[in-house]
Copies of this chain bind each other. A is one copy, B any other.
Amino acid sequence: MTETSALLVSALSEGELIARFTPLLPRGRATLVPTGDDAAVVAAADGRFVVSTDVLVEDHHFRRGWGTARDVGARAAAQNLADVAAMGAVPTSMVVGLVLPPTTPVRWVEDLARGLADVCAPLGVGVDGGDLSAGRQLVVAVTVHGDLEGRDPVLRSGARPGHVLAHAGAIGRAAAGLAVLGPRAEGQDDDGAAAAAVGAFLRPAPPYAAGPAAADAGASAMMDVSDGLLRDAGRLAHASGVEIVLDPLADSVPGDLAALAPVATRLGVAPESWLLTGGEDHGLLATFPEGAELPAGFRRLGAVRAGAPGVVTAPQDAPHAAAVGWDHFRR
């Protein structure tokens, strides 16, 4: 009998490897022709589809030592599906290209497929196609699709002076988790708060339903926060030609400040830096017209004003953030 945990992908043909993990992948509610032919066919009842693509490269976006292959699959799926939600769409379908060094265990690839399924199956998203190649470095290339269900797409460019800036989902947690993972290599055990932060980094939980809900509530601009609040708010401000002024963090995200405090104290850093510059939580940042009722899950983070286009003014209670060059965020 073959010992699965020791079997390497180099021992299998492409067809054999595909046969191993295809049964682990979910068919979606929009899947009409699943993976296995030249192409899949996916329903797009709206008459439009939303599409976004990301590449994750080992030692750049993930390290095998940080967590399991299942975590890598779950994170790859989540961060891509967040881009669909950020347009106001409901995710429907995903395709995945893999580059695998010959020394990759077959079990690693199977677990990656399980991680994709962990995120996609509950949302009814199909993993409807893929491709495999050998290569020198692990790469996971994910393309996701979504259905606007009749909504106008919510772009980054619609924020106007007087609008309210709001956010749904976690903030600063993944950055705290990544900070914990560094020293952990030296053998330190995690306490509860640190373990939770690591979990938030390895398995981000974007608020997918908040995207369409924000669109329905009249959001004027939206994006997911992948590179940190300051940087991504700067992109939204730049695209919209407005200035964004952040509220004091003690007013806008007091619960997050308190939750991050134990980990921050242990590592000797200011939790404000994780809240302002930490990415990879893939929460949703949106603006709403003044007076609009924020949909469930969103809390106010600041305000939009004419001011200096593309500029984000840091919160009064994080003055050190003002030392960062804002030009970096004018993208």
A contact residues vs B (CB 8 Å cutoff): 15, 32-33, 37-57, 60-61, 83-84, 86-87, 89, 93, 95-99, 128-137, 139, 141, 143-146, 148, 153, 155-157, 222-224, 239, 331
Contact = CB atoms under 8 A, between A and B. Distances in A.
Contacts of A157: 37
A39 B83 contact: yes
A55 B131 CA distance: 6
Contacts of A156: 37-38
B48 A32 contact: yes
Contact of A50 (B40, B131, B134, B223): B40
A97 B141 contact: yes
Contacts of A51: 39-42, 93, 95, 128-129, 143, 145
B139 A55 contact: yes
Contacts of A84: 38-39
Number of copies of this chain in the oligomer? Answer: 2
A87 B201 CA distance: 40
Contacts of A44: 44, 46-49
Given A57-B135, A60-B134, A60-B135, A52 B40 contact: yes
Nearest to A128: B51
12 contacts: A33-B153, A38-B52, A39-B153, A40-B50, A41-B48, A41-B87, A43-B47, A53-B95, A53-B131, A55-B131, A55-B139, A97-B143
A182 B42 CA distance: 41
Contacts of A143: 51, 53, 95, 97, 143
Contact of A135 (B133, B134, B137, B153): B137
Given A93-B51, A128-B51, A136 B136 contact: yes
Contact of A38 (B46, B87, B139): B87
A47 B45 contact: yes
A37 B97 contact: no
Contacts of A55: 97-99, 131-133, 139, 141
A240 to B, nearest CB: 12
A204 to B, nearest CB: 15
A15 B50 CA distance: 22
A125 to B, nearest CB: 13
B39 A86 contact: yes
Nearest to A39: B52
Contacts of A60: 133-135
Given A49-B49, A139-B141, 19 more contacts: A33-B153, A37-B153, A37-B155, A38-B83, A38-B224, A39-B51, A39-B146, A40-B50, A41-B49, A41-B50, A42-B49, A51-B93, A53-B130, A53-B131, A55-B133, A57-B133, A57-B135, A97-B97, A136-B137
